[in-house]
Amino acid sequence: MRTEAQYRKDLEKMKTEIWMGGKKIEKFWDHPQIQAGINSQAVTFRYAEDPKFEHMMTTTSHVTGERVNRFTAMYQSIDDMWQMDVALRTMIHECGHCVGRCVGRDGLSAIGIVAYDVDQKYGTHYYENFKNFLKEYQAKDLTSCGAVTDVKGDRSKRPGQQEDPDMYLRVVERRKDGIVVRGAKANITTASYSEEIIAVPTRAFVKGEEDWSICFAIPTDTPGVKHIAMTSADDPTKPTEGPISNKYAFTDSLIIFDDVFVPEERIFLNGEWDEAARIGQLFGNFHRHSHCGCIPSRIDNLVGACQLIAKMNGIEKKAHVKNKLFELIKTGEMVYACGLAASHLGMETPSGIWQPNFIYSNLGKYYSGSTYGREMEICMDLAGGLSITMPKDEDYMNPVTRPYMEKYLRGSTNFTTDERIRAMRMMTDLCASEYSAVWMVGGVIGAGAPEAQKYSIMSNYDLTDQENYARAYIGMEPLKKEEVAGQEHIPAGFKSKK
Ligand X SMILES: Cc1cc2nc3c(=O)[nH]c(=O)nc-3n(C[C@H](O)[C@H](O)[C@H](O)COP(=O)(O)OP(=O)(O)OC[C@H]3O[C@@H](n4cnc5c(N)ncnc54)[C@H](O)[C@@H]3O)c2cc1C
Binding site for ligand X (CB under 6 A): 103, 145-149, 152, 155-156, 187-189, 252, 438, 441-442, 445-449, 451
Tell me the CA distances in angstroms from 421 to 309, 380, 410, 416, one per residue in order: 10, 15, 8, 9
Q: Hey, what's the torsion of the CAs at 179, 63, 278, 442, to 10 degrees?
A: -90
Closest distance of CB 221 from ligand X, Å: 18
* Of 138, 139, 119, 136, residue with least CA distance to 128: 119
Closest distance of CB 255 from ligand X, Å: 9
Closer residue to ligand X, CB minimum distance, 337 or 444:
444
Closer residue to ligand X, CB minimum distance, 329 or 445:
445
Closest distance of CB 16 from ligand X, Å: 16
Give Cα 314 to chain centroid, integer Å.
37
Closest distance of CB 30 from ligand X, Å: 23
Closer residue to ligand X, CB minimum distance, 135 or 158:
158
Closest distance of CB 279 from ligand X, Å: 12
Using CB positions, name the residue nearest to ligand X: 442
Closest distance of CB 257 from ligand X, Å: 13
Tell me the CA distances in angstroms from 243 to 43, 171, 239, 303, 311, one per residue in order: 17, 44, 6, 17, 19
- Contact of 105 with 147, CB cutoff 8 Å: no
Beta-carbon contacts of residue 423 (< 8 Å; ≥ 6 apart): 305, 308, 309, 312, 415
Closer residue to ligand X, CB minimum distance, 155 or 480:
155
Closer residue to ligand X, CB minimum distance, 185 or 495:
185
- Phi/psi zone of residue 194: left (φ > 0), alpha (ψ -120 to 50 degrees), beta? beta
Rounded to whole angstroms, the Cα distance separating 396 from 404 reads 9
Rounded to whole angstroms, the Cα distance separating 333 from 348 reads 26
Closer residue to ligand X, CB minimum distance, 364 or 448:
448
Closest distance of CB 311 from ligand X, Å: 31
* Of 435, 370, 313, residue with least CA distance to 33: 435
Rounded to whole angstroms, the Cα distance separating 448 from 209 reads 22
Closest distance of CB 61 from ligand X, Å: 24
Closest distance of CB 251 from ligand X, Å: 10
* Of 435, 333, 314, 461, residue with least CA distance to 382: 314
Closer residue to ligand X, CB minimum distance, 215 or 310:
215
Beta-carbon contacts of residue 297 (< 8 Å; ≥ 6 apart): 88, 89, 90, 91, 92, 93, 332
Closer residue to ligand X, CB minimum distance, 152 or 344:
152
Give Cα 305 to chain centroid, integer Å.
23
Closer residue to ligand X, CB minimum distance, 41 or 189:
189
Closest distance of CB 453 from ligand X, Å: 10
Q: Dihedrals φ, ψ of 430, to 5°? A: -80, -25
DSSP H or E segment with residue 105: helix 103-122
Closer residue to ligand X, CB minimum distance, 89 or 288:
288
